Amino acid sequence: MWLNVITTKRKIVRRLLNNDEGRILDEQQKNILVLGIGNILMNDEGVGIHVVSHLEKEGYSDADLMDGGTGGFHLLGFIQSYKTIIIVDASLDQYPAGNVRVLHPKYAKDFPVQLSAHEIGLKDLIDAAGLLGETPDFHLIAISVKDFQDMGMDLSTDVEAALPDAIQQVKDLVISLSV
């Protein structure tokens, strides 16, 4: 997977360098990226990465897949190179652990109040993309968690049980966006 990401990043950098305005042209943009966000070392907080990992293992190819780690500005080039981004992330909210919601935020302020431990970096990234004039169509698969303070690599029972639903939501969303 990392070789894929590095190769993709090089292509994006080449596109940026060959563009006089420093922006990715529409005809160079790809269609859909499923971006798993999270920290797999913090149990449920890494659920977005687990969803993308399951999709990769089953050979899912209807959209590009990426482990975005904990987000951050290093993802800006990737985000700008797609027309549509489906973000899969943990959400610390009022819903029961394992609840899966599909949201269609336009700006950072439209995301849940507290996505997860890296919420500021992800929201800043989305705002930065908007400031640069290259804002893709964002969709969010938010998986409710109750706690991500403990260190570990295991998902809780409720969040683990939500993986099939979250994976199906990603697939259904990709199908609906591809029509």
As given in the structure block, the two tokens for residue 105 are: 């935020």
Give the integer Cα–Cα distance in Å for 100 and 119: 18
User: CA angle, corner 168, sides to 82 and 129, nearest 5?
Assistant: 20
51 contacts 174 by C-beta, under 8 angstroms: no
Sheet holding 137-145, edge to edge: 64-67, 30-36, 82-92, 137-145, 100-103
pLDDT digit string, tens, across residues 155-175: 999 999 999 999 999 999 999
* pLDDT for the residue 49: 95
| Domains of the chain, earliest start first | 30-178 (3.40.50.1450)
Residues with pLDDT less than 70, the chain: 1-29, 71-73, 107-109, 111-123, 134, 148-149
* pLDDT for the residue 57: 96
pTM of the entire predicted model: 0.77
CA-nearest of 157, 167, 174, 160 to 36 is 167
* pLDDT for the residue 113: 62
As beta bridge partners, residue 65 has 34
Q: Show Cβ contacts of residue 99 under 8 Å, excluding neighbours closer than 6 positions.
A: 143, 144, 162
